[in-house]
Chain A
Amino acid sequence: MKRNSILFWTGAALFLAVIALMPYFVRNEYPFFAGYVILQFIALAVAWSILGGHAGYVNFGTSAFFGMGVYTAVFLFKAAGAPLAVQIAAAAAVGALMGFALGLLTLRMQGIFFSIATIALTIVIETSITNWRYVGGAAGIQLQRPPVTPPFEGYVQMLVFVQALLVVLAVAISRYIQNSWIGRGLQALRDDELAAECTGVPTLRLKVLACVISGALMSAAGAPAAMYLQYADPSSAFNLNYSVSALAMSLIGGTAHWLGPVVGAILLGSTQQLLTVTISSEVNVLVLGVMLVLFVVGAPEGLIGLLRKIRRQRKEGKG
């Protein structure tokens, strides 16, 4: 346990150091653009799995949280010229509030009803933003990036580092939850909510907590996107593709371990980047859909589950 933690934090520090030093070795801009998108998906997938994986509540509203993150940043930037850190912190707060509301919804809704309600939430929020002139309405809004702060050479490089920080934060939280009583409680309520409640698991408190954490992380991951694209419009900020991607990456990676969503997001995210560049963005959505269906049908435990199975079989072969 102790040694695992040391390994994890060393790995995280190394990862951040590499990202921070990358601008000095890589002159080409493209890896940063692609890397940013992949990192963003890792954060979203990990955040999704906190509620969807541990607690078994399928959230189709990733795009609602993501979009709210984007628009919190847009609003603060336009209203007060707030710096990036403030934008992200505020987005996380908004996401946490939304998560709290969503958590209360789970009181009355489970299974498919919860999922449909999250889609509903997305559309209702998207429509409200579309009708809000101040942040650009349906046409969207252009944003001018402020000058970059010294240690970084370019704004995109800084955004990549910021997103990497968010990823480390999300993974650390997810890992903590998995190893603590929170994760065990969530798994108990996933298996049988009534039984968990009866044996003294504070199910509502846990569900609300999971929703708040998951929501805050999703919105935080969305906030830098406004400055990354220098543009925001409701139909792309609240695009359902974010919801499907987060869900697919988590399930394909496997939700039994915190590493699952990370692996899923890296694999699918890089495949998507390749496909978008080489073929077309439609094909990459198709690949996502097909992979999702294949995995839920053929490998319900995801890649992590497959690896475990192979390892077990090997052991049996030896013994």
Chain B
Amino acid sequence: MFSFDLLLDAVVLGVLLGCFYAAVSLGLSIAFGLLDVPHVAHPAFLVMASYAVYVLNEFYGIDPLLAGLLITPFLFLFGLAAYRIYYETFEKRGGSDAGVRGIAFFFGIAFIIEVLIILQFGVDQRSVTASYIGKAWRIGDMRIPYRLIVAFAVAGALTILLALYLSKTFMGRAIRAVAQDQEALRLMGANPIRIKQWAFGIATAVLGISGALLIIVAPVDPVLDRAYIGRTFCVVVMAGLGSMTGTLVAAIILGVAESIVLTLFGASWAPAISFALLLGVLAVRPQGLFGRRS
């Protein structure tokens, strides 16, 4: 059963899959990693974006990636509004149980999104059509699906763009500053809440492309977000909160791990990989592999 070729296949596919995981985790890396928002609803937002892409593709024949770009501005506005509500009701009021309620709030939102999708689209899986879906690239015995290559390329570009945005632009640096010391920013006359709101908007806007990739890589169903809670949080925590390149590396580790386990033990063990990795990282090295905190 076991062979070197099979392992090589698994690793190559794992790296591609990992880049895709990075793309779906980038938003969370900003929202949770940099802004400390307990954004459990991130995967639900992701699935919601996928369904929007599905609608644009199915009924208007728009290419999924283009559709992802089209919904990005709306997601940005949605993100701005979501952060405003979160800030007004939890961060501003404070109190000993603000944290508890913040988590419960996002959990509730995730559940509402799930059910609304079920009521609208039913529980069946949905997929998109595009010229690059369903075909594969053959190198020798290896067969690499084009959809994974597309995901790989787009995810790479997205990661680089976001990393550049956070390190080179004024707003990006402001976001990293607010993550480091909110009070210092306030003392210098900047409004940290405005910056955080903007950052949360960006984090949500990224989901347009992420959601497109999600539905390109595999069909989506309404409760898919539950599996991605583990994957996205695993990647973000393993990366060390808020590092974009760390996110990419952590996602590749997860992708390779999942792919190898899938090859060796079968698909029924796959859901546990990300969560087991996450538990391990939390227990052994809570600050992550590239952590900014000691």
> Is chain B found bound to chain A in the same assembly?
yes
- Please tell me the number of chain B residues within 8 Å of chain A, measured between CB atoms: 41
Main secondary structure of the interface of B (DSSP, over half): helix
> Could you say which residues of chain B place their CB within 8 Å of the CB of A290?
108, 112
> Could you say which residues of chain B place their CB within 8 Å of the CB of A285?
111, 114-115
Q: Is the CB of A292 within 8 A of B104?
A: yes
Whole-angstrom CA separation of A119 from B116 in the bound complex: 22
Whole-angstrom CA separation of A112 from B106 in the bound complex: 11
Within 8 A of B (CB), among A289-304: 289-290, 292-293, 296-297, 300
- Please tell me the number of chain A residues within 8 Å of chain B, measured between CB atoms: 44
> Could you say which residues of chain A place their CB within 8 Å of the CB of B226?
240
* Known A123-B271, A285-B111; contact A300-B99, beta-carbon cutoff 8 A: no
Within 8 A of B (CB), among A263-316: 282-283, 285-286, 288-290, 292-293, 296-297, 300
Interface string of A109-128 (1 = CB under 8 A from B): 10111011101110110111
A130 CB–B CB distance under 8 Å: yes
> Could you say which residues of chain A place their CB within 8 Å of the CB of B276?
120, 124
Within 8 A of A (CB), among B226-276: 226, 229-230, 233, 237, 268-269, 271-272, 275-276
Whole-angstrom CA separation of A165 from B105 in the bound complex: 32
Interface residues of B (CB under 8 A from A): 32, 38, 40, 85, 89, 93, 95-97, 99-101, 103-105, 107-109, 111-112, 114-116, 118-119, 226, 229-230, 233, 237, 268-269, 271-272, 275-276, 278-279, 282-283, 286
Q: List 28 A-B contacts (CB under 8 A).
A: A58-B99, A108-B283, A111-B103, A112-B99, A113-B282, A115-B103, A117-B282, A120-B230, A120-B279, A120-B282, A121-B275, A127-B268, A128-B272, A190-B96, A190-B97, A244-B111, A251-B101, A282-B118, A285-B114, A286-B111, A289-B109, A289-B111, A292-B104, A292-B108, A293-B108, A296-B104, A297-B89, A300-B97
CB-CB nearest 10 A-B residue pairs: A127-B272, A289-B111, A120-B275, A292-B108, A112-B38, A293-B108, A289-B112, A286-B115, A296-B101, A123-B275
